[in-house]
Homo-oligomer: A and B are copies of this chain.
Amino acid sequence: MDETVQQLVERMALICEKEGMPRIGGRIFGYLLATDQTFSLEDLAEQLQASKASVSTNARMLEQFGMIRRVSVLGDRRDFYRVQDDPWEQMLRVAQGRWREMVNVFNEAAERLPEPAGRARMDDAARFHTLLIRECDALIDRWHALRRQEQADAGAEVPLRRAAGA
């Protein structure tokens, strides 16, 4: 494996681990991200020096988070994996789900707690996370807009040259 790729893989492993994800999950994501290619389960296990069992489990987790996707290839029984088109949006959506649960917890506590001051704190927390969820939707929209812009710019490079030649 290319050394630069490996560096990113290991960094990604540590970052993801700090976020509460298994280290190998971070490695898989980092590898698929840095190569932007499609790999079989066995390829991943070999390249990342992990057991197929571990890769299988972690790949499924990443798939459920929407950060990578399974690819089926005609005439091949194996599973292939590659990074999702927009993994970061998916990350945010998962986070939104967690925040929604927290809002429920806070709202429930805001009704039941004995002390008014504590209830106010819970209300505050619920409002904050509600705002967080709402603003995240807006952020995703902005991200899509920015991303379309990027891709339009990148895609325009070649056609522009053609136009110049015409």
Cβ 8 A contact of A33, one of B98, B122, B138, B146: B122
Count of chain A residues with Cβ under 8 Å from any Cβ of B? 48
The answer to whether B15 and A105 touch across the interface, beta carbons within 8 angstroms, is yes
How many copies of this kind of chain does the complex include? 2
Given the known inter-chain contacts A2-B114, A19-B20, A115-B35, please indicate yes or no for A135 contacting B139, CB distance below 8 A.
yes
Q: A71 in the interface, Cβ–Cβ < 8 Å? A: no
Contact between B115 and A36 (Cβ–Cβ < 8 Å)? yes
Contacts of A83 in B (CB 8 A): 121
30 pairs, A vs B, C-beta closer than 8 Å: A4-B109, A4-B112, A4-B114, A7-B109, A8-B105, A8-B109, A8-B122, A15-B98, A15-B102, A18-B98, A34-B113, A34-B115, A34-B121, A34-B122, A35-B115, A35-B117, A36-B115, A36-B117, A36-B120, A36-B121, A37-B115, A37-B117, A88-B128, A120-B154, A124-B147, A131-B142, A131-B143, A132-B139, A135-B135, A135-B138
